[in-house]
Amino acid sequence: MAVTGNGTGTAGGSRGPLAGVRVVELAGIGPGPFAAMLLADLGADVVRVDRPGGGGLAVDPAYDITNRGKRSVLVDLKSADGPARVLDLVERADVLVEGFRPGVAERLGVGPAACHARNPKLVYGRMTGWGQEGPLAHTAGHDIAYIAVTGALGMIGNPGEPPAVPANLVGDYAGGSLYLVIGVLAALQHARATGTGQVVDAAIVDGTAHLTAMIHGMMAAGGWQDRRGANLLDGGCPFYGTYETSDGGYMAVGALEQQFYDTFTELLGIADRAPARKDAARWGELREAVAARFRTRTREEWTAVFEGTDACVAPVLSLREAPHHPHLADRGTFTDFGGIVQPAPAPRFSATPVAVTAGPARPGAHTESVAADWDVPALLPKED
């Protein structure tokens, strides 16, 4: 496993393609902080504005990896001078990220109009579940509700059973954080070309719906049934799914193309009785044969059988096991920084390499350095 440091790095360093980009993050939870973490991973100087008393995840801030590589200052936006202190930061920033419900930032005095009055070039990134407008815009929600109404949740799981919940990866992070980052970077390019900033309205429902584009195309063409476990990529076909091994582990099979299917059935030991790949009428028979074979050996044994082949088969690993997979370890996909095993920054860059350079920002820990670097003396405590 790659090791990039011992936890003593300094946030706001010069590494990465976003070196020199300044980001103000108004503290929140979920997809907003993850998006800001990604910007920090890519080299941006991210200053997180934390509220006195906290309000983030119910974990020790030292373990909140979504705050790695950032710096933190404490500002009470409900105090008399709170909005002015944030606007002082905004005046010197390229990007602002917030995840309040629609209208809250405006009521606090740090909405788009107030920020653009101080900095017309600012990219103002807004992260919500429902978006800034629409019948549900002011309604509370979480990842599971957002992916439910887009049709994404309904695709996941076995037929005849409740949909399977994919943690908060599909909505919060894929449909939310990543689309916010894409929008922010696109708007940043526009701002630098034209001198004009704008608001990026990143709604999890919009991003998640966008992720299903290929499926909608397949459905329109008659190649996808609008129900779970009946299609090529949702576990409906026996050569794209998971199977239990003799020791209670699982193997994942994705032998979609003919040449991969042939290799898979040969190595599994059923080539002499496996039906034609496209013979859907015999898929039930094939599934039973595949399941029976996988139950004859352990996960480790089957991993050895398929390792390095084009059968498109892999062991299903746990979160703790994943960093030790030989391929991921060789690439340094995970890193140990400050004693916390965590995913390394992604993607990778040939000219401006990225790395974890600082651990999770403790609330208010960087007030002095930010005040000096950003020339915002108002951040410092007032002397008696």
Question: What's the Cα-to-Cα distance from 263 to each of 254, 256, 271, rounded to whole Å?
Answer: 12, 11, 9
Q: What counts of helices (H) and strands (E) characterise the chain?
A: 13, 12
Report how far residue 180's alpha carbon sits from residue 32's, in angstroms, rounded to the nearest whole number: 8
Tell me how far apart the alpha carbons of residues 69 and 37 are, in angstroms, rounded to a whole number: 7
Kind of pairing between the strands at 2-5 and 334-337: parallel
The catalytic residue among 41, 50, 88, 172 is 172
**Cβ pair 59, 85 in contact under 8 A:** no
For 92, counting Cβ atoms within 10 Å of its Cβ (0-12 exposed, 13-18 middle, 19+ buried), the class is middle
Buried b (16+ CB within 10 A) or exposed e, 158-186: eeeeebeebebebbbbbbbbbbbbebbbe
Q: Percent helix, strand and coil across the chain, each rounded to 5?
A: 40, 15, 45
To the query of whether residue 310 is one of the catalytic residues in this protein, the response is no
To 5 degrees, how large is the angle CA 99–CA 104–CA 108?
Answer: 110
Query: Structure tokens of 40?
Result: 């920090």
Residue 172 bears catalytic tag: yes
The secondary structure of residue 360, as a DSSP letter, is: B
Catalytic residue among 81, 142, 210, 226: 142
The backbone torsions φ and ψ at residue 366, rounded to the nearest 5 degrees and listed phi first, read -120, 25
Amino acid, res. 21: V
**Nearest alpha carbon to residue 218 among 265, 155, 131:** 155
Residues labelled catalytic:
142, 172
